[in-house]
Amino acid sequence: MIDNFLNWLQNNEKSKNTIYNYKLSIQNYFTWFNETFGSNPVKLYNQNVKDYLQYLKTIKSINAKTINARLSALHSFNEFLIETEIQTDIVIHKNLKIKVQNQYTSPAQFDTKEINKFIQSILEEGNPRNYALVILLAYTGLRISEALNIRITADLFLESKELIIKEGKSNKQRTVLLNDKVINAIKNYLKYRETLKYNSSMYLFVSNKGEKLNRITVNNIFSKYSKKTGIDKIISPHDLRHFFCSYALESGFDVHEVAYIAGHSNIRTTLLYTNPSRQKMLEKLNKL
């Protein structure tokens, strides 16, 4: 049933990132249902969903934003069940969502010094691929899914210093300009890649086996070097996106420029980065 749901999402032109996240959410629901009732669900019931939400809140202590994201996946799953005539009614309503106060502080959780320390640790490791990836993320604000889907000949144009993003959120296409630091890192990586046994992939970032680099490997890399630098929290690929948006605004880019480069569909998302960080707010509070 889950596989059919994923195919349905693809047919409805959902992004790869949405499909991936919805898959995890539905799998989590199926796991809970199986552990609770000893079988897989054949349809959705309002009471079951309410019980599941209560389980997420009280037993798993999952935050409201994540719960709402899982609820969105279940709502989409509910629509799939109706369209495929497995179910006739919508059982997931808007009133199930938890109201979340709009975030005021900047989403950027790491300052420039911490990010530079993290990047330096990867540079010193001596792996051109890993260095090129983090430099690209930090100085373009790409989503990790966008970076991993870059094709060398179809999307990357080093001479004109351009990158075409064709598989971003909502399947929108945009052109991202690359600074000299990114260009040099990618060129060094491409030279190194030519010496590898497996170097024929059309994708820019590949694993040691020549396959397209995946999220799990990237997350392991970020975890390893976050710990190596002694930073209290793990820096994620998305944190580099936050860093770029915040750093670009501080460096003189206007909000509309950053919104376009980052591929934000709503300007209000970009405006969050003009707010002070949580740390700066705490510093001001401590002065009271």
Query: Annotated catalytic sites, by residue?
Result: 143, 169, 238, 241, 264, 273
What are the backbone dihedrals phi and psi of residue 177, each rounded to the nearest 5 degrees, phi first?
-80, 145
What gap in Å lies between CA 65 and CA 75, rounded to an integer?
15
Q: Are the C-beta atoms of residues 44 and 92 closer than 8 Å to each other?
A: yes
Which helix (H) or strand (E) element contains residue 174?
strand 174-177
What gap in Å lies between CA 268 and CA 241, rounded to an integer?
16
> Is the Cα dihedral 223, 66, 76, 52 positive or negative?
positive
Shortest CA distance to 144 belongs to which of 55, 239, 26?
A: 239
What gap in Å lies between CA 44 and CA 151, rounded to an integer?
40
DSSP letter assigned to residue 157: E
What gap in Å lies between CA 284 and CA 280, rounded to an integer?
6
What gap in Å lies between CA 234 and CA 222, rounded to an integer?
7
Give the three-state DSSP class for 80: helix
